Structures are given as C-alpha cells and as structure tokens.
Amino acid sequence: MIKKYGIVPLEQYTGLTKGRKFHTHEQMKKEIDEYLKWVKETNAWNEETVVSTVKSIMNYHIGEPPVQINWNGKTITPQLFAKDILKINPDDYVDILSYMQEPFYQKVLYDVPDNWWKSKDYYNVPLDEFIKALRKAIENGYTVSIGGDVSEAGFDTETQCAIIPTFDIPSEFITDEARQFRFSNNSTTDDHGMHLVGYTDYKGERWYLLKDSGAGSRNNDPNAKEFGYYFFREDFVKLKMMNFTVHKDAVKDLLAKFKNK
C-alpha cells in the first residue's frame, strides 16, 4: 500500500471530518457492506463502478486523501514523501513468524484472516530464534511492528501492562509446543498490531515498550508520560505475539540461515 499510495503527514490528512475528535467507522462500514450486498444480490458487479462508489462512501466519512502535499514549501506527491523524505523502501522489511504448523527456516503462509492475500513471505523460525532476533533488533536501536493476541486475562488496560498469569502457564514452561497449542485451539488469535519501540530490564525481567493507537492504551491520563503505550513482559511476547516486521538489516544473521537451508 505504501508503494502504491505513499504516505502523508497526519496534519495534512487526519481522516476526521465534521468536527470529530475520534475515529469511528461503524456507519461507513455499514454503508459499504449494504452496498456490496446489494451488488451481489442484483448481480450488478462492475469493477469501475463498485470501486468508485466505495471510494465515494469513504470520502464522505473520512475525507478524500490528498494527491499532493506541502512539505517545507514544496508540493510533492505522497509517493515521493515516502520515498524521498521518509526514505522508506517497503522491500527492505521482512516478517519473522514463529509457529510449528509450518516448517522452520522456510518462508511460509501465515494462516490468519488478516493475511487475506495469502502471502507466503513469512520467515518461520523456532521460538528461541524469534526472541533472540527480537532482542537483538530492539537492543540495536531498531523498532518493530509486532502482532498477536491482546484479548487475554493478563492484558490489563488499567496498569497498561501485559503478563502471562501463572494460572495459564508458568513462564519457564513457554515453548514452541505451548505456543502452537494455543494457536491451534484459537485461544491465541492474531487480533492486533502494535509498534514495539523500546525495552528495559527490571528485577530480572525483560519488559518491552509498545506504542499503540488503540483505545485501550489511551484510556488513562492523557498528561501521563506513558499515554498511548503498553508495557509487555517478555513472557507475554513469547506466548502471545506471533510475528514481527523489521528492517532486514536487523536480522541479517537470521536470514542467512534461510539461504543456507
């Protein structure tokens, strides 16, 4: 999507219209669903017409995305902003996955609803390699996009912390098998993505700092320094975070093992 559409600064396209302060897309989704249902029931499919109509619904609710932006006195496209200003090349990023239902040290399909295009570009590794690579990346100053399950008893929006309770599994028993068992029985789902931006070691435990745009992380005092953030203990990451996306330079050693295989 970055390749196709580029990126724009938030202040030049907020997606908030009609004086709204927060995003809510329920009405927009309802109108799109009703329209697509009508298209299907009446066999009225015409790609150009359907795409145009869906875009018009979205433009009404969240505003029309700019095709040009102003940056430091210059007018440029969102594509050039991504390429020349942010210098983001999507091809430089890789996704590291860890689950047992596919072979390790191969690029595999991550079988979750969000992977609706059935991409097989996920580098699948054992859990110890997964955590080792994550630790190395964040310790070397990289940040990662991380995804997994946040619908858990140990995920507490009041304290902004996530841990694995001992009534689930003691942290020393978290293994590839424990992780796969929960994914296979759907007690672990891929339901949210966040931005892992930092870490600290506290009382012998590794904690990760995650920036999140979801409401749960923003329910506390907006003047607090941790507003919009969560703190995940490493046992939560080990058991419940399924994959992470990072710049390829951060995991060169790991990627080399795939070439050797």
Q: What CATH code is carried by the domain that includes residue 174?
A: 3.90.70.10
**Which pLDDT does position 217 carry in this prediction?**
67
- What letter would DSSP give residue 17? -
Q: Who has greater pLDDT, 1 or 99?
A: 99
Write out pLDDT tens, residues 134-153. 999 999 999 999 999 998 99
Range of the domain at 12: 2-85
Helices H, strands E: what count in the chain? 8, 12
Judgement on whether residues 45 and 118 belong to the same structural domain of the protein: no
Judgement on whether residues 45 and 108 belong to the same structural domain of the protein: no
Tokens for 236, please give them.
């939560």
Q: DSSP labels for 202-257?
A: ETTEEEEEEE--SGGGGSS-TTSTTTTEEEEEHHHHHHHEEEEEEEGGGGHHHHHH
Alpha carbon separation from 147 to 69, 103, 163, 239 (Å, rounded): 31, 20, 16, 12
Per-residue confidence band for 259, with pLDDT thresholds at 50, 70 and 90 = confident
**Which pLDDT does position 108 carry in this prediction?**
97
Judgement on whether residues 54 and 174 belong to the same structural domain of the protein: no
Mean pLDDT of 105-122: 95
Judgement on whether residues 141 and 230 belong to the same structural domain of the protein: yes
Task: Spell out a b/e string for 187-206, using b for 16 or more CB atoms within 10 Å of the CB, else e.
Answer: ebbbebbbebeebeeeeeeb
**Which pLDDT does position 66 carry in this prediction?**
96
Per-residue confidence band for 157, with pLDDT thresholds at 50, 70 and 90 = confident
Write out pLDDT tens, residues 32-84. 999 999 999 999 999 999 999 999 999 999 999 999 999 999 999 999 999 99
Short-list 256, 252, 98, CA closest to 108: 98
Total number of domains constituting the chain:
2
Inter-residue contact 144 to 196 (CB < 8 Å): yes
Answer positive or negative: Cα dihedral of 126, 131, 132, 134. Answer: positive
CA geometry: angle at 193 spanning 251 and 107, to 5°? Answer: 40
